[in-house]
Structure 1
């Protein structure tokens, strides 16, 4: 009887162990830093949608292939500053995050670097400042570095040669993103003056007085057709443009904008800013890809449009989908050291095709290749202003082409909207 009972106990324990082994799930914990009150707040709903969609797709996949793995997302908000992003990173580490997706800007990322280094965990993000292109660090950036962006602008300038204003005044936010790019612009155009403003500025009276003074002086010397303003801004661009509309000389000239201006929804939500952008032919540039219509790019794009206010999503809202998927693929491999993790990242980068295309990385952990699109605000038949891609810089060919009579899903989907 005792022998029988012992056997029953052994069988029961074995059964418990078997059930535990079968039911034990591996949790992949991914942290996300989202700016919900700073100068990239307009991206926040789209970013969150992309992150949630990626986690849902991954969990559906694991279930389909009978893997007892679950992706768990932990989210922390920032206000766009390096300090708030650092605090968000600290909180995510304490919540068990194994990799962090985000933050969006180089300024925020700079605040996270000490935490990433101390904890030896990765951040996969879309920042692009050249100053943060560091080999072997904990940062993987799924956007090409700013040198690629500058090369794209230079190529575009050769295509529209003869129509480029002779003199440019740069107006830029005074953070890592703005200060770095404002210097790079000098290598591709004749910059006569640079006007810097503080991030989070909303009253641009002082900035516009300086800008108007520089522009007016240049108009007197070179004529209005030979003067341009180049804006390096993010969400604050709508306030800048709306307030600039009160200055006649600023309305006379052409404006251009960097990637933080391209497709920025705050402009089109502000009627005065949208009209000013249209009147000044505000040409903007952004990294982007023209993916096939049945690709995950458009799945994410359509989901963002459906769950937010219906604006045209920009690449910085779509990239978090790839960031989450790459994070999960890295953590599936259970690397024990940073060196091994970076080896896995390199292998994944060489072989992974995401929603935004091939994710091949360079020696700095930045996306190696990527096309750029040039957008102009145009009016539809109903008078509504929207962003329309007009030129594309093809990285593989190092050339810029006009989007006229070409098959391009980005252009076709925009015109069909």
Structure 2
């Protein structure tokens, strides 16, 4: 595998007059470290604004269509909650606030600065996870994905090992290219969700969007697209996260799931690779209920492949109303929310809402200077300023108040890192 830390023509991390690495904010003030080489591409490829039902045998490439970005005239106002009768669209906002994020220690800030400095030099990355794979330029949307919170998620997932965090960040980006995750369109995935076997509706007590998985509603034969479906819906769940929230709540019900409809061990391992390997620190809680004996046996079989941290977040036969406000919890999950899945209503509504949000994220990212390490809360329209605004607020001189002295002299360590 090509080494992303030693890419040709990489822009060196900025240093001050004494040769010391500038702190995070001062680095960003010096300019865009990976400019000009990337081209604008959709973070998640755009699909048509209306749902069409095509041959299920179509691939992402054959079903993709060239369309303009969807920018709703209004945002959440497009999706009012009905006062009577069942709702048939996603719920755009939680009724609770996301909890405040823990403050980093000085050592953690220093390790973040090291990872940011190295990632900021990336101009190309391997196009696949294969050994010695050819490299391709880093795209704008990949650079936007490399937010401050993203880097921190990978640092936490690797127990703050900077070299391992860099390796996993590169691996995920190369995997997404190889897997085609950003080519999956609403049109391509649509046949998988006609029965509503995966639905994003409501938020839990900590403002985490709820993704319902209902294996009993399985409507297709086993195929790669079944796994693509979950990857796609996880990305849409991330789109639905409000400012300040990084985690999702999975609600899995095996009600009505015959033994032939539960995933195979091979499928389960593929799903775990997506969840644990390429969406680290994204699962906040998993509520799993209606387990027949063969599902319990299934979980015992896959238990060795489940990371202990992930396992600790799994709740079997929980009292869901204690985790999700009853008004945001589906009646099928013992809540009070009257929801009816109508694919021709829900699917285009989810598309319009999520594509509109991603478009506004791109607009904010461009307005903020197209910076690696941007704040996700700013990108999602929260109250936090962009990095550029934060720097301008302190005078725009690079003399950022409160800059940690622990990042001084870190250049030598950064230059010696390898993601092999």
Q: Same fold (TM over 0.5)?
A: no
Question: Which has a greater percent of strand?
Answer: 1
> Which entry has the higher C-alpha Rg, 1 or 2?
1
The normalised TM-score by structure 2 is 0.24
The normalised TM-score by structure 1 is 0.24
